[in-house]
Amino acid sequence: MRVHIDPDSGFCFGVVSAVNEAEKELKRSGTLYCLGEIVHNKAELKRLQNKGLITIQHEGLHAIKNKTMLIRAHGESPETYRLANVHNINIIDASCPIVLKLQRLIKKTYDRMKGQNGQIVIFGEPGHPETIGLLGQTSGKAIVLRSINDVGKIDPSKPVALFSQTTKSSEEYQLITSKIEKMMKEDVPFQVFNTICRQVSKRLPLIRKFCNIHDVIIFVSGKNSSNGKILFKACQERNSKSHSISETSELKPEWFKNASSVGVCGATSTPMWLMEKIAGRIEEISKNQQ
Ligand code: SF4
C-alpha cells in the first residue's frame, strides 16, 4: 500500500509566520502568552505549550500586565489593542498581512458608507476570531452572514458592501453574491470585494484532484478549523472513503483493508510534522495487515 502526503496541504504562510514569531520569542524568554489558540490544532498547540506558550482568552488580559503577548494570524479588533495598551502588555503582532489588509478595507468602507446609511456585510462564521476582528472595524455594526440562508438580514433598499472572511468557500460566496444581487432594489449601490485568501481558494481544486487519485483519504485537521470544514467536505464529495481525524489514535485499521493507495492531507492549520507522523502510523498498520 502506498501512502502519499499532499504537498499542497499544511500551514499557510500566515500561520507559518505566527508560529515562527512564537518560537523566536519562546527561545528568547521561555514564556509567551497567546490570545486564543495560535492554530486550531491540538497537537501543534501541545508542542508549543511544552516550549512555554500559554493560551489566554480576552477576559484574562487584565491578569498579564507588563507581559508579552502574541496576536495570532486571525487578527484582533481595535478594542483588544486598546485593552493591551491599558494593561501595558507588550504585543508581538503576528496578524496575517492579508487579514490586516481586509480589516483596513472594511474600516475605510465603513467610514465612507456611514453617511449613506449603508450596510457592511461579512460572509463569515459568527464567533470565529477573524470575523470578530473584522466586525470590530465597524464597532460591531456589520451584518454577519453564516450562510446563504441569512441574506434576509440585509435591507435591499440601502447600499451594501459585501466582504468575506478570508477562509470561506469561494463557491458559497459566489452564490451569496448572486442572491443579494437579485434582491437589491434598482439603483441601490451593491459592491462586492473579493477577500477570500488565495492560499485557501487554490487548495479546493488541488485537494479534489488529490482525492480522485487515492483509494482512501485521511484528512487531518482540528475540529474548529474553518477551512478544515470546507476542505473535508470537498474530500467527501470526491472520495466516499474520506475520514477526518485530528490525531494518530483516531486511525482505524479497517479503513485500510484492500486499499492500494492512501492520501493524507489537511487544512491550513495542520502542521506537516503531524501529517508525516500519521502517514508513518498508516504504514505500520498496513504492514501488520499483510
Ligand atoms: S489563510 Fe490566508 S489570510 Fe488566513 S492566515 Fe493563512 S495566509 Fe493569512
The pLDDT tens digits of the residues spanning 74-100 come to: 999 999 999 999 999 999 999 999 999
Q: What confidence tier does 200 reach under pLDDT thresholds 50, 70, 90?
A: confident
Same structural domain for residues 74 and 38? yes
Which residue's alpha carbon is at the smallest distance from atom 7 of ligand 1? 14
- The pLDDT value given to residue 227: 87
pLDDT at site 177: 98
CA 174 to ligand 1 center in whole angstroms: 20
Structural domains counted in the chain: 3
Instruction: Report the share of the chain in percent with pLDDT over 90.
Output: 91
pLDDT in the model for residue 72: 97
Query: Do residues 123 and 145 touch, judged by C-beta distance below 8 A?
Result: yes
Within 8 A by CB and 6+ apart from 172, the residues are 123, 147, 148
**Residues 138 and 215 placed together within one structural domain of the fold:** no
Which ligand 1 atom minimizes the distance to the CA of 199?
2
CATH number assigned to the domain comprising residue 270:
3.40.1010.20
Examine the fold and report which residue of 95, 125, 160 is the final residue of a domain before the chain moves on. Answer: 95
CA–CA distance, 240 with 216 (Å, rounded to integer): 8
Q: At 253, is the pLDDT very low, low, confident or very high (cuts 50, 70, 90)?
A: very high
pLDDT at 288: 85
Average pLDDT over the chain, rounded to an integer: 95
pTM as predicted: 0.89
Q: Check if the beta carbon of residue 61 is closer than 8 Å to that of residue 84.
A: yes
The average pLDDT across 123-140 equals: 96
Residue 56: CATH number of its domain: 3.40.50.11270
Q: How far is the CA of 116 from the centre of ligand 1 (A)?
A: 32
**DSSP H helices in the chain:** 13-29, 42-49, 78-86, 97-113, 129-135, 170-183, 198-201, 203-212, 226-238, 272-289
Is the pLDDT at 290 greater than 90? The verdict is no
Same domain, 172 and 116: yes
Residues 194 and 110 in one domain: yes
Please choose, from the candidates 209, 213, 210, 134, the residue with its C-alpha nearest in 3D space to the C-alpha of residue 168.
Answer: 134
Q: Are residues 155 and 214 in the same domain?
A: no
Distance (Å, whole) CA 190 – CA 188? 6
Grid cell in block for residue 142: 456589520
Q: Are residues 166 and 125 in the same domain?
A: yes
Pick the last residue of a domain from 63, 95, 127.
95
Measured from CB, residues less than 6 Å from any atom of ligand 1 are 12-15, 73, 96, 98-99, 166-167, 197, 199-200, 268
Ramachandran sector of residue 8 (left: φ over 0; alpha: ψ -120 to 50; beta: rest): alpha
Whole-Å CA distances, 66 to 18, 85, 161, 163:
21, 10, 39, 36
Report the pLDDT value the prediction gives residue 150, as an integer from 0 to 100. Answer: 98
Per residue in 25-55, pLDDT tens? 999 999 999 999 999 888 999 999 999 999 9
Best residue among 71, 76, 134, 166 to mutate for probing ligand 1, ranked by most atoms within 8 Å of CB: 166
- Out of 69, 95, 121, a domain closes at 95
Q: Are residues 60 and 151 in the same domain?
A: no
Domain shared by 123 and 63, yes or no = no
Model confidence at 7: pLDDT above 90: yes
Are residues 209 and 283 located together in one domain of the fold? yes
Q: Residue 224's pLDDT is what? A: 81
- Choose the residue to mutate in 8, 9, 15, 72 for probing ligand 1, maximizing ligand atoms within 8 Å of C-beta: 15
Q: Is 130 a catalytic residue?
A: yes
Q: Give the pLDDT band of residue 112 (cuts 50, 70, 90).
A: very high
The range of the structural domain enclosing residue 89 comes to: 13-95
pLDDT of amino acid 225: 85
